[in-house]
Every structure is written in structure tokens, then in C-alpha cells.
């Protein structure tokens, strides 16, 4: 049986998401921005929390862990490289590890850049990837602890996932990201279509995620730093992709 997901809002613009295994009843919360919305989501679905899979140590992804663990006695899985900064960790994971949620299995992919130990949980059979703050819909996380080269190679790992992989990210930033992306690739038609689609979803009060890797490859400028037209469009024809990525990221940082 395939995994079921339930997406919900947390804090001001974070997303929480539950992954449920219908076969065993196991349910994982991907990160835990705050406890109350996770509990409300459990109530709404009737699912029982068994695991928390943490992507990285930032407070808006870990603030609810302790309260949830106390209440549900769930297992807390976190990246080994930053486990010391995350509360109540039971199990540390590294690149290539497999994490089970009931009968579901996630591959751990290390994606340093936003933080040095950031990991992504890829449920390959279910075609789902929980990417935290590494990749956003039409965007990527700020490069806070790593450097642009590191972030670019992490994003390439995600870009290499099967095109029909559904991506769940940690924030609703899509429309702001699209506004910026248009300054990099004004004539990208897939991007224009995503803009219309995102506006429609938000007007209906619906989230703009998940998105697929295939869609992102065609419209997300941060996954397109090695596309010659993208480099040329920002006056960097022939420059190494990591440098083009760094320039796009720098422009986004100062974009208003
Ligand atoms: Zn973060």
C-alpha cells in the first residue's frame, strides 16, 4: 500500500506534513514546527504519531518535538551531523541510510547548504520527497551554513530524482519565488503557467505544494543554473554552473 499524506499550516508560513502507512498504521511527522497544529492534524486524520523525521535543526522545524515526544512517545529521527542541536533525538541518520515508518521506507539524502547537516527523506516507492528548506517550489533555501557550490550540488542530487517524485517543502513561498524567477527567465512558459496555477490555488485557500521534480526542472531557476540560456540571460554565458547558481542566489537575497 502506498503512503498517504496530510499537509497543514504551522507558524506563519511553515508547512507541517504527516506521512501515514495504511498497512501498519504508523505515522510520521516531517519536522515539527510547533506541537498544536501537528496534534490538530492527527485529530483530523485519526492517525497515531509514531515518528518524527527531522530535516534540519532550525527552530521553525524543531519547536514542537519535545512536546510531541512527551505526549506520543514517538521516535525522533534526525541528521547525525546536527543531532546535537536537535532535542530528544533517538536515532541519527546519514547519507544512504534507510528509515522505516511502519512498512514504508525512506532513503536519506544529505543536502548540505542551508545548514551543514540538512537531510531529505525520499520515499522512493511512494514517489515522495520531503525536502525541508533545501528546495522550495520555484525556489531554494538560503545558503546559511554552507557555500553556494555545496548547495548547488545538493540541489543537483534532488534534481536527479525521478521526474514524477512529489516534493513537499517546508514553506509556502511559491508566489514570491515566481516573482523573482521571472527576473531570471522572463520568457519561460512553464514558469508563466505555474504562476497562473499558483494564484488560482492560493485564491481557493489551497497550498501550492506538492510539486513534482519534473515541473521544477522546467521552471525553478535554482535547478537551471547549468542551462546555457539561463546563464546567458544574466550575463554569465560559459561560466561554471556553481557560479551561475551563486549569482542567482545572491540576486534573490537582495530581491524585494
Ligand atoms: Zn531552515
C-alpha 43 to ligand 1 mean position (Å): 27
**Can you give the pLDDT at residue 61?**
97
Q: Is the pLDDT assigned to residue 12 strictly greater than 90? A: no
The secondary structure of 42-57 as a DSSP string is HHHHT----EEE----
How far is it, in rounded angstroms, from Cα 230 to Cα 6? 35
**Distance from the alpha carbon of residue 23 to the mean position of ligand 1, in angstroms:** 32
pLDDT of residue 250: 97
pLDDT, one tens digit per residue, over 55-83 is: 999 999 999 999 999 999 999 999 999 99
pLDDT in tens, 83-130: 999 999 999 999 999 999 999 999 999 999 999 999 999 999 999 999
Q: Is the pLDDT of residue 256 over 90?
A: no
pLDDT of residue 101: 98
Question: Distances in Å between the alpha carbon of 65 and those of 13, 21, 32, 84?
Answer: 18, 21, 6, 14
171 noted as active-site residue: yes
Per-residue pLDDT tens for 133-150? 999 999 999 999 999 999
Per the annotation, the verdict on 56 as an active-site residue is: yes
| Residue percentage of the chain with pLDDT more than 90 | 98
Q: DSSP assignment, residue 171?
A: B
> What pTM, to 2 d.p., does this model score?
0.97
Residue 194's pLDDT band (cuts 50, 70, 90): very high
CA distance 251 to 12: 24
61 assigned to active site: yes
- Cα of 238 to ligand 1 centre, how many Å? 32
Amino acid at each position: 500500500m502506498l503512503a498517504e499524506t496530510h499537509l497543514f499550516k504551522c507558524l506563519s508560513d511553515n508547512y507541517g506534513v504527516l506521512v501515514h502507512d495504511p498497512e501498519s498504521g504508523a505515522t510520521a511527522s516531517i519536522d515539527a514546527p510547533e506541537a498544536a497544529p501537528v496534534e490538530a492534524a492527527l485529530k483530523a486524520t485519526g492517525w497515531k504519531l509514531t515518528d518524527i523525521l527531522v530535516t534540519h535543526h532550525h527552530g521553525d522545524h524543531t519547536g514542537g518535538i519535545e512536546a510531541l515526544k512527551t505526549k506520543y512517545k514517538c521516535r525522533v529521527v534526525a541528521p547525525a551531523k546536527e543531532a546535537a542541536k536537535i532535542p530528544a533525538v533517538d536515532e541519527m541518520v546519514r547519507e544512504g541510510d534507510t528509515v522505516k515508518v511502519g512498512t514504508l521506507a525512506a532513503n536519506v539524502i544529505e543536502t548540505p547548504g542551508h545548514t551543514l547537516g540538512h537531510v531529505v527523506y525520499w520515499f522512493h516507492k511512494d514517489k515522495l520527497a520531503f525536502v525541508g528548506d533545501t528546495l522550495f517550489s520555484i525556489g531554494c533555501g538560503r545558503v546559511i551554513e554552507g557555500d553556494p557550490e555545496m548547495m548547488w550540488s545538493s540541489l543537483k542530487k534532488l534534481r536527479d530524482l525521478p521526474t514524477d517524485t512529489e516534493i513537499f517543502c517546508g514553506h509556502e513561498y511559491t508566489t514570491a519565488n515566481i516573482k523573482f524567477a521571472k527576473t531570471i527567465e522572463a520568457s519561460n512558459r512553464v514558469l508563466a503557467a505555474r504562476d497562473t496555477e499558483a494564484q488560482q490555488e492560493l485564491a481557493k485557500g489551497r497550498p501550492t505544494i506538492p510539486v513534482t521534480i519534473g515541473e521544477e526542472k522546467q521552471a525553478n531557476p535554482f535547478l537551471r543554473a547549468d542551462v546555457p540560456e539561463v546563464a546567458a540571460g544574466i550575463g554569465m554565458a560559459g561560466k561554471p554552473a556553481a557560479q551561475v547558481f551563486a549569482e542567482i542566489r545572491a540576486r534573490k537575497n537582495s530581491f524585494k
